[in-house]
Each structure stands twice: as C-alpha cells, then as structure tokens.
Amino acid sequence: IGLLPLSLYFFNGVSIAGLIINLIAIPLLSIIILPFLIVFTLLSIFLDISILINLFDTGLYVLFKLLNEIPESLRWITTGRIDSIFVVFTYIIMLMVYFLPYKWLAFIPAITLLLNYWLTEKSKWQLHVFDVGHGLMALIEKDNQVLIYDFGPSYFNRFSRTRSILLPYIKANNLTVKTAILSHEDNDHAGGLQHFIDAGFGETLQQFHPKNTHNVCEVINIDFAGLKVQSFSTKGFGNENDDSCVVRVSDNTHSVLLTGDISKAREASLLADNTSLKSTVMLSPHHGSDTSSSVNFINNVAPQVVIHSSAYKGQWEFPKPIVVERYNQINAQQFTTGVEGQISIKFYAKNLAIETARGQESYWFIKD
C-alpha cells in the first residue's frame, strides 16, 4: 500500500495479484522453505534425501503453477500517466492519517489534490516525436486514442524501435490505436512496421493503405477523434522519398505537418497545388537535410515549431546548419530528437507547451 503511489508514477500501473502473491511468498520463504533447507542440509550428512527434495520441489512447482494461472487482467492494471503532485499529496495524506490525532484533517490535502486536478487546464491533444536515432516515429494522441506516423528503424530484425519504444509506450499509457500511416518504405521509417503488425495493429493501416504499404498512401480526409487529418497527392514522382505520405493534422486552431522524406521538388509540387500547408508545428522534411526545406516551402508553412528527427552526431550530420538557419530566419523554435530526446507538444485551447526528455530528466539522460 505504501509503495502504490510510486508504482503508479514510475510504472503507470499496479499489480493487483502482487499483494496476494507476496502475502503467500514471503511467509512461505521465511517460515517453510529456509527452515526446511537447513533441515535437509543437516540430514544430507547422514542420509540420502533426494526423495525428500523431489517431494518438496514437486509441491512448490504445483504452487507456482496455481499462481501462474492468475488471469492476466488481475496480474497488472495499467492506469496511464500519473503526475508527481499526486504522489506527493498521497503520501502527505497517508502521513496525516497515520500520525495525526484528528484524522479528518487529511481531507484538506485530499480536497486540494482534487481541486488541482479539476482546475488545471488539460491539453486538447498531443504530438510525441520519439528519439529513434536516424529515423522517424511520431504519435498523435487525443482522448486516449492515437494516430501513428512511421515506425522508426529496425536493425537485424531484432533491434526494433517499435518494439522497444512505441509498443511499450502504447501499453504503459493505456492508449487505443485508431489509425496508422507509413510515409514510405525506407528502413529508418518502416523498420518496425512488421513488428507493429505482428503486435495485432495491422487493421489500423487500412484507412491510408487499403491495399498494402508498398503503394503510396491514399489521398483522403478523415476525422480522428475530432481532429481533421488530410493527406496530399504525390503525382507519382517515382522515388520513395518524394512519394512520402505528407499529412496535415488540425483542430482549426493548431496544426501539425508530417512530411516524411520529401525533397524540394515535392515541396514545389505541393505549393503548386495551392494546398493549405500552414501549420503550427512541422517535422522537418528528410530529417533536416539540405535536399529539402526550401525557403518558399518554409515561408508557406510558417511553422512556429520545427522538429528535426535525427541521430545525435549521425553520419549525415542532420539537421544541416544551412537548414537550421533558414528556419531561424522565420524565428521558428527548433528541436532535434538526437539532442533533446523525445519531444512532446501539448496543444491547449489557445497555446501550446513543449516538453523534452532532456529538459525533464537532464541529470540522468544518456546522450551518447
């Protein structure tokens, strides 16, 4: 009970069966197993005790099998993200109940905690750009539903960012995947695609990839939890980068432009179509390569925030300094995943808030 708030905060959930298992396991170990081991050790000096050990081991194995049959739903319950203020106030309440003669005083911090929850403005939706090295994996979250854009790299079919980052994030935060989009088939964007499908999320690709993910994505407009999601025509450039699925997500106040690996040629094509590209946040095309981010494109999108999804001191040295300077010319805030770690943007009714992994946990953050 005392560790419950910490479990919720650090592990985003709690083991319901854990309390029962520990109530059985600790006395079993202390009162039965250890004394029996001492007795068996002493007896082994004079007798062959293999029969006794086998009987003892068989009994423990039966008990283990019974514990292992506890339903999955009772083993672990996911609660999602818990704020640190919840942990602090919960322990204050516990201490007041335990030590104070007037237990009712514990209602004061309890009511304070509830008022803080009710009065604190909640973000309407969020964008998370994960730190996957050289590659891209982004997630848009609204009302516990998510849209996923790209799946990061995978190396030797084992070291998958989808397995190590995306799937655990979805599970830890108790999220429901509604839609998934693959920009194009380069490994740094599609490496974890099959692992995503193997995890049971293949149907979420159907809206934008009804036939298969080898073809360019469908040009459609959909509603995602109240957000408008729009993809744009590619006109068949004949190369995977320029045929990337470009997607704009908007709530009519804020918007995010997801650009894949398009080059200046595709940027010019999008501008020629007179499509509405203006966005609050943009993921820089092709990780901040100088093949992309033309001046005209930047001025047309006019992003307030630009995120470069690229590796720390990667071999291509993205984002290129000349590209960074172009965005500086419009006074856009710039963040690089390889430097800042995971970048999360929370959209509120009138403003937005930016959080970075290094900004939150700078002392412990492993940079290189």
Query: How is residue 79 written in tokens?
Result: 């609660």
**Where are the strands (E) in 106-163, listed by range?**
125-129, 138-142, 145-149, 154-155, 159-160
Q: Is residue 9 within 8 Å of residue 82, measured between CB atoms?
A: yes
321 prior amide bond cis, ω within 30: no
Give helix 107-119 / helix 84-99 axis angle, nearest 10°. Answer: 160
Q: Is residue 221 classed as helix, strand or coil in its secondary structure?
A: strand
Mean pLDDT over residues 3-8, rounded? 89
Res. 365: pLDDT tops 70: no
125-360 CATH, one of 1.20.58.100, 1.20.1630.10, 3.60.15.10, 3.10.129.10: 3.60.15.10
Instruction: Report percent pLDDT > 90 for the chain.
Output: 64
Q: Which value, to the nearest 10 degrees, does the dihedral of the CA atoms of residues 143, 183, 196, 313 take?
A: -100
DSSP 49: -
Domain boundaries in the chain? 4-78, 84-119, 125-360
Res. 363: pLDDT tops 70: no
Res. 366: pLDDT tops 60: no
| Widest Cα–Cα separation across the chain | 93
Chain centroid to Cα 41, Å, comes to: 51
Count the alpha carbons within 13 Å of 206 in the hemisphere toward its beta carbon: 6
From 197, 165, 124, 180, select the one nearest 337 (Cα to Cα). 165
Res. 87: pLDDT tops 70: yes
Bridge pairing between strands 145-149 and 176-181: parallel
Tens digit of each residue's pLDDT (9 = 90 or more) over 267-313: 999 999 977 899 999 999 999 999 999 999 999 999 999 999 999 98
Tens digit of each residue's pLDDT (9 = 90 or more) over 14-70: 887 777 778 887 888 888 888 888 888 888 888 888 888 888 889 889 888 887 787
Tens digit of each residue's pLDDT (9 = 90 or more) over 177-233: 999 999 999 999 999 999 999 999 999 999 999 989 988 999 999 999 999 999 999
pTM, two decimals, is 0.80
112: confidence class by pLDDT, cuts 50, 70, 90? very high
Give helix 50-68 / helix 16-27 axis angle, nearest 10°. Answer: 160
The predicted structure's pLDDT at residue 362: 54
